[in-house]
Amino acid sequence: MQRSRQQKFAVGAFNIDNQETLIAIARAAQKLNSPVLVEVSDGEVEALGLENVRDMVDNYKDEYGVEMYINLDHSPTVENCKRAIDAGYEFIHIDISQADHNASEEEIIAKTKEVVEYAKFTGALVESEPHYFGGSSNLHEEEIDYEAIKKTFSTPEGAKAFVEATGIDTFAAAVGNLHGKYPVPKELDLELLTRIRESIGCQISLHGGSGTPLHYFEEAAKIGVSKININSDMRYVFRTSLEKVLADNPKEYAVVKLMPTVYEAVQAVVEEKINAFGSAGKAI
């Protein structure tokens, strides 16, 4: 993360909910010589298994010779964060407001501090934010209500106070980024992002990167964002590619034979983001 700040690139944090997506990420990282984060949220952990994800990532990291780490994304409880730290996850996102949208700032700070202290045993980096982050990792049909979203934007003062109160390593900024894929492109307030960058010393992440014009990512990396999350763009391509390949091969029941077409499509999305983030060629 220090390298990303010094060299003005951001690392892609790509969600997986199956092995094919992990293969796509590993192959993109290898082809472009880019560091990557593989991330799993609460539902994905439940489906794949916390320790299984650790083993899978380690196996593909060795097989493809890539710089690849794991991020626990939007974990709603301290206990789950501690389990991931014990399992060797390098990045931990504690998000108390994910389970309780009305959680008080005092509760969020207290539980975030508990995870920060626990993470010192392994050196895992902890990420958090002081309030609920909107949207969902899906395909939305409604327009984006920017007037409503602006009420939840981060502020330089709020970011500084939260970072100082919790001791987190990464602050999840809200500047127009929103979970999910929408009918219209997202718009990021880069001037606000710059002021937040100037107000805090820790890393900055952007959630809800899907459906965002790539020039915003290029500028965000130059401003000093270290981590950008991508999920819905990958899920959309995975599903639409799978639907097409199934329709084109109605008599093929060994679905595993059809999957290379699917993860090649997902790999193309990951490569596009890596190039926009400026992380190509930055792996060690």
What's the token pair of residue 167? 């001791």
Instruction: Give residues with Cβ within 8 angstroms of 262, minimum separation 6.
Output: 20, 238, 241, 242, 245
| Cβ(36)–Cβ(25) below 8 Å | yes
Instruction: Give residues with Cβ within 8 angstroms of 150, minimum separation 6.
Output: none
Beta strands 227-230 and 203-206: pairing type? Answer: parallel
- Backbone phi, then psi, for 85, in 5-degree steps? -60, -45
Instruction: Give residues with Cβ within 8 angstroms of 67, minimum separation 6.
Output: 29, 34, 35, 36, 61, 283, 284
Strand partners, 93: 127
The crossing angle, in degrees rounded to 10, of helices 259-277 and 19-32 is: 50
Catalytic residue among 17, 73, 189, 233: 73
Residue/partner pairs of 220-223 with CB below 8 Å, 24 or more apart: 220/10, 220/188, 220/190, 220/193, 221/4, 221/8, 221/9, 221/10, 221/277, 221/278, 222/8, 223/190, 223/193, 223/194, 223/197
CA angle (175 as vertex; 281, 111 as ends), nearest 5: 90
Catalytic residue status for 73: yes
Instruction: Give residues with Cβ within 8 angstroms of 189, minimum separation 6.
Output: 153, 175, 176
Residue/partner pairs of 247-252 with CB below 8 Å, 24 or more apart: none
Q: Name the residues annotated as catalytic.
A: 73
